[in-house]
Amino acid sequence: MEPAKGERAVRVLIIGGGGREHALAWKLAQSPLLERIYCAPGNAGIAAVAECVDISAVDIDRLEEFALKKKIDLAVVGPEAPLAAGLADRFHRAGLRVFGPGREGARLEWSKIWAKEFMARWGIPTAAFAVFDDYDAACRHLEKHYAGRPVVVKADGLAAGKGVTVARDSGAAVEALRAMMVEKDFGAAGERVVIEDCLEGEEVSVLAVTDGSELVILPPSQDHKAIGEGDRGPNTGGMGAYAPAPLLTAELARKVEREVFRPFLAGLEREGIDYRGVIYAGLMVSRSEINVLEFNVRFGDPETQAILPLLESDLLPLLLAAAEGRLAAARKELDVRWRDGAAACVVLASAGYPGPYETGKVIQGLQEAAPAEGSAPGRKDGVVIFHAGTSFDSQGRIVTAGGRVLGVTAWAGSLPAALQKAYRAVEKISFEGCYYRRDIGPRALKK
C-alpha cells in the first residue's frame, strides 16, 4: 500500500446506511482528496452526496467483490455488525485499506465480558463486576450482594442495544437474568452475563480516532437514549445529541486520556491487537470520577452527526492516516482543527419507535428546513439534515423507512444558538407520525 500523498485521488466506500453514515459521507464529500464516494447500502439522503450501492452492510462477500472491482482506496465502516463479523480482516487479506478494527479489536463491543476483563487487565476505571454462565449462581450473587440495591445486568453479546438492564434491586435484576439466561431473549448473546455495580452520575461519550498507537480525541458529546422527554421511557438508538458536552471540563478530558485512552493503547500493544478506527468510550462522570460504562468500536450514532459539523479540517486524511497506521507521523500535517461553538442533532422518529412502527410516509419540508446554501460546511453556522431511515418511493418521493428517520443538525457559535437553529428546521419538516424530543440539550444548558 502506498502512503498518502498530498494530491492523491481517493476512492472511498462507506459501509452502512444511517445518520452516522450520512454525516460521514457529507463530511468526506467535501475533501479535495476525494475522487469518488460510494455507500453501501446508503439511503435517500446519502444519495445526494455519494453513489449508493445496493449491498447490505453485512454482506462481506459482495462488499469485498465491489471494493476490489471499484479499486476502493479506503473502506469506512459505520456499524458494529460487519466489524464483529470480521469485515476488516477479510478486506486486509484482499489488500484493501479499512477504517474500522478487525474482529479481535471489535471484541471490545461484541463481548461485554471481554471488554470488562480488558479494562480490569489494564487498570481502566469501570464498575466492579462479576461474570456468570450459570443462572442459579448469578441469582445467588444478586441476592448476596445486591439485595435492596440497584444493579446492572448485561448480556455478553450484541443485542441491538437492548442487552443492558439497570435494575432498581436484585428482584428486578433476576427478571432480566431470566429473560437472558433462561428464556434466551437474545439467543447466544445472553448465555453469559455481566453483573455490575450501578454507577451514578452523568453520561458523556468520548470518541477517538486511532491507529492503535496514537489517537486524536474528538469533542465530547452527549446522547439522549430514552424515547421520552425528561429521559423517560424505553431506550432507543439515540434521540439526539450535542457536542461539545460542557460536562467534560478540560481537566476531566485530560483524565480520560490518561486513565482510559492511554491504558487502552498500552493494552492493545501488549496484547498484539491491530486496531485502526474509532474507539468510543461511554463514560459515567461523577464529580471528578470517571468510569467506562462501555466501549464501542465505531462512530456513535447520533453523536457523530453532532461532532462532524464541528470539524473544520479535512476528515479524509485523518481516516487515511489511521487506516495506514501513521497517525503519529502525520499528526502535524493533519492539523486537525475544531470550530468554536457547538452543534446539536434532533432525531425525528416514526410513531411507535422503539416498538413497531409504519414506514413509507412521505416526508415534506426538507428543502425549506435546510436550503443547500445554508449547510455549506465552511459557514460559521448552518443546518444539515442527515437521513437515518429514508428511501425513495416509486414516484421518487422521499419516504420514511426506519424507526429513526432524520437527524436534524445545526451548528452555531453557541449551544443555545445551535439548538434553536435545529428546532426551527425541525418545525418545517413533517411526515405522518413524526415524533421528536423537545428537550435535547438542557443538561448542558444548565452548566
Are 146 and 197 in contact, with CB atoms under 8 Å apart?
no
Residue 117 C-beta: closest distance to ligand AMP, Å: 15
Instruction: Give the one residue of 58, 85, 164, 217 binding ligand AMP; rule: CB under 6 A.
Output: 164
**Contact between residue 366 and residue 434 where contact means Cβ atoms under 8 Å apart:** no
Does the protein bind ligand AMP through residue 172 (CB under 6 A)?
A: no
d(CA 202, CA 199): 9
Contacting ligand AMP (CB under 6 A), which of 127, 177, 342, 347? 127
- Residue 300 binding target from ligand AMP, ligand GLY, none, CB below 5 to 8 Å by type: ligand GLY
Please state the closest distance from residue 293 (CB atom) to ligand AMP, in A.
4
Smallest separation (angstroms) from ligand GLY to the CB of 301 = 5
- State which of residues 17, 157, 300, 354 lies at the interface with ligand GLY (CB under 6 A): 300
The verdict on 166 binding ligand AMP (CB under 6 A) reads yes
User: In the β-sheet with 382-387, what is the strand arrangement from edge to edge?
Assistant: 222-223, 240-243, 342-349, 404-412, 382-387
73 vs 109, beta carbon nearer ligand GLY = 109
Q: How many residues bind ligand AMP (CB under 6 A)?
A: 12
Q: Of these partners, ligand AMP, ligand GLY, none, which one is at the site of residue 109 (CB under 5 to 8 Å by kind)?
A: none
Residue reference for cell 481502566: 124
Q: Smaller CB distance to ligand GLY: residue 349 or 366? A: 349
Sole window of 93-101, 130-138, 191-199, 208-216 interacting with ligand AMP (rule: CB under 6 A) = 191-199
Q: Is 407 among the residues that bind ligand GLY (CB under 6 A)?
A: no
Please state the closest distance from residue 203 (CB atom) to ligand AMP, in A. 6
The binder of 198, among ligand AMP, ligand GLY, none, by C-beta within 5 to 8 A per type, is ligand AMP
Q: Which is nearer to ligand GLY, 196 or 303 (CB)?
A: 303
CA distance 265 to 278: 12
Residue found under cell 471488554: 115
Question: Any contact of residue 293 with ligand AMP (CB under 6 A)?
Answer: yes
| Residue that has been written with the C-alpha cell 428464556 in this structure | 183
From the list 52-60, 299-307, 333-341, 394-402, the region that binds ligand GLY by CB under 6 A is 299-307
Question: 199 touches which of ligand GLY, ligand AMP, none (CB within 5 to 8 A by kind)?
Answer: ligand AMP
Contact stretch for ligand AMP (CB under 6 A) within 78-86, 140-148, 197-205, 343-351? 197-205
- Which residue of this chain has its Cβ atom nearest to ligand GLY in the complex? 300
Binding piece for ligand AMP, criterion CB under 6 A, among 192-200, 244-252, 336-344, 403-411 = 192-200
Nearer residue to ligand GLY within complex by CB, 156 or 303: 303
Q: Which of 102, 282, 309, 389 binds ligand AMP (CB under 6 A)?
A: 282
- Given the rule CB under 6 A, which residues bind ligand GLY? 223, 238, 296, 300-301, 303
Residues that bind ligand AMP (CB under 6 A): 127, 152, 164, 166, 196, 198-199, 203, 225, 282, 293-294
